[in-house]
Each structure stands twice: as structure tokens, then as C-alpha cells.
Amino acid sequence: MNLFSVMKTQCRALAAGLMLLCPVFSWGQVADPLEDVLILYDFNTLKCDWETNPPAFCAPCIWATDLSLDRLCQSLQDGGPDGSKFRSFGGWDSSYDYSFARTDFSSVSSTLSYDVYVRADAIANISGVSFDWQRPGDSSVDAIQATIFWEGPAGSIEYCSSGPISLNGTGCWNSRVLDFPIDVTPLPTGIDTSGKQFHIEFYAWGNNGDALLLDNVALKGMCAPIPEPGSAILIAAAGLALLLRRRMRV
């Protein structure tokens, strides 16, 4: 048996072993029924106005705090975009008065926010946020932005923002995705997110600063466990086996 045949046999055996380990690598996906959603706040299990807003869903590699208010008021109502419960948030600023300067992950006034923690044995890529919204009247806020903060290599707080987004029309539910642009301060990705904390903050303003209705507030992205060294070797071996198989067909 020549060397090529020996390598082919060994790679097939390693690839077969990798298939047995597939549940390990699907850990970040099998438990996630929302594909590209890391965190979701949908308010459906809440019973009253003054309850806190815990996440309704978290991907297995992520842990998140409640969706918290800073000098805002909230009420719980029925009849959201999918016929379920939603939140009305009021007390926003009537004109833009926001600062990105931070020394820690504390929220500024008149914002909605939550903190996200990536597990130490996982990695994540965060792409942006999404939410359903409605302006109930002409005095409602008509602009919003989402900002994500994290600690940079030098220990300072860095950020990336969607920038101001207009909210037009009243009385109808709309869906919106706000991406965190990649041409500004780049968000940490991959292994650089392992064990890292992120702070996501929503700021809305305009008109009289009156209520904005929100539902299905989500953090978008993907996550996965960090493969163990032995598993990583099997992944590489499986790839080599595939290359060898293709070479044989040529």
C-alpha cells in the first residue's frame, strides 16, 4: 500500500470520527430556534406594567441582563405586531442630547439598554439589532439610534453606532434592522469576543419625546463554542479527506 492510500484511509477514519462529534459543533445552533438571533425581548410572558424585562431567548453561548430603563416610563399592552403583548416606552428627549463618551458601561439618561456577556468557552459575531416599532401619535419620537459599547485593548470604552434613523408614520407596526457599520471602529469578532462584555443602548428623540411602542427587540448575530484542540484537528482532517477525494476524481 502506497503512502497516498495510507493517508486516504486515515483521513476517512478521522472524518468518520468527526461525524460522531457533530452534536458538539451544532451546540450554538440546535438550541437556537431563531437562526441569526442571539437575544430576544418579546414581553409575552409579562403580567403587569412594573415588571422587569428579562430576555425571552438567549443563544447558549450568550448571557444577557434585563432590558432596562434610564429615566423612561413603560406600560404593557396587548395587540402587538403578532397579536401578542408589547411595551410602550415614554419620557424620551424632545431633541437630540446624547453622548458617546463613557468610562464604564453605565447608561446615559433617557435610554433603553442591556448588557451582553459571551461565555468564556464560546465566540460570537454581532451584526446589529432589530425591533418592531410603532409611533402611536404625531407627538411620538421620530428618530432612534442603537449603539454598542465594549472595552478596547487599552482598557478604554469603544463604541459603534447605527447613527440616527428616522421613524415615519403613525398607527402602524413596522420592522427595522439597524446594522453596526464595519467601516468605523470595528466590533470584536471571533475569539476576541470570548468572555467579553458588550453594552447595547437605544436612544430615541424628537417632537414631544412621547411614547414609542416596541416589540421583539433582538440582537442579531451568530455564536458557537470554541472547539477543543482534538476536535479542531478532526475538522482539519475532514477537510483534508474532502480534498483527497476531489483529487481522486480529477
**Model confidence over 31-68: pLDDT tens digits?**
444 579 999 999 999 999 999 999 999 999 999 999 99
What are the tens digits of pLDDT across the range 4-25? Answer: 444 434 433 333 333 333 333 3
Q: How many CA atoms lie within 13 A of 140 on its CB side?
A: 21
What are the tens digits of pLDDT across the range 110-145? Answer: 999 999 999 999 999 999 999 999 999 999 999 999
Neighbours of 138 (CB within 10 A): 10
CB–CB of 209/135 below 8 Å? no
pLDDT at 4: 40
Quickly list DSSP for 130-176: EEEEE--STTB--EEEEEEEEE-TTS-EEEEE---EE---SSS-EEE
pLDDT at 35: 72
Where do we find the cell 399592552? 77
Residue 187 has pLDDT above 80, yes or no: yes
Q: What pTM value is reported for the model?
A: 0.78
Residue among 242, 183, 195, 228 at smallest CA distance from 62: 195
Domains of the chain: 34-228 (2.60.120.260)
* Strands of the chain, DSSP E: 37-41, 57-58, 62-64, 68-70, 73-78, 85-90, 111-118, 122-134, 143-151, 157-161, 165-166, 174-179, 197-205, 212-225
